[in-house]
Amino acid sequence: MFDKLKNILLHSGYRVILTKKIEKDSHGGLSRGIKGYILPDQLKIFINKRFGANDRVVTLIHELLHEIYPSKTENQVDRLSKTAFSKLNVSQLGFLQFFIMSPAEIRLTLKANQHNA
């Protein structure tokens, strides 16, 4: 499962965009949640910045699963994203976190890690 998610992130051309305002009325997206949504025709995944890092990772997985399994229902995708999140190991979680954190947040995390070393 993680490999599928990683492949899409690295090779499909999708851009992950952090935003504070999620527009509920924009065009063309499947599934419009307040935590995030995907616009396949524009190759964009929007993630709501107001949620914490773990929530954002679950949301990113959720939106990628819409791309991988277009016929699955919202509830199925929701369950699957939570299961996939719970099975991530530390390096897989780190890989996904990189996509949902702003440059400033990444710098803070790297600094914190240095102090712990």
Interface residues with Zn ion (CB under 5 A) are: 31, 74
Kindly list the strands in the beta sheet with 15-19, ordered across the sheet, starting from the edge strand earlier in the chain: 15-19, 44-48, 36-39, 30-32
If the CB atoms of residues 18 and 33 are measured against Zn ion, the closer one turns out to be 33
- The CB-of-70 to Zn ion minimum distance in angstroms stands at 11
Task: State the amino acid at position 67 in one-letter form.
Answer: E
Q: CB nearest Zn ion: which residue?
A: 31
- The CB-of-11 to Zn ion minimum distance in angstroms stands at 22
If the CB atoms of residues 81 and 97 are measured against Zn ion, the closer one turns out to be 81
Of the candidates 54, 51, 42, 35, the one whose C-alpha atom is nearest the C-alpha of residue 14 is 42
- The CB-of-103 to Zn ion minimum distance in angstroms stands at 27
Task: State the amino acid at position 86 in one-letter form.
Answer: S
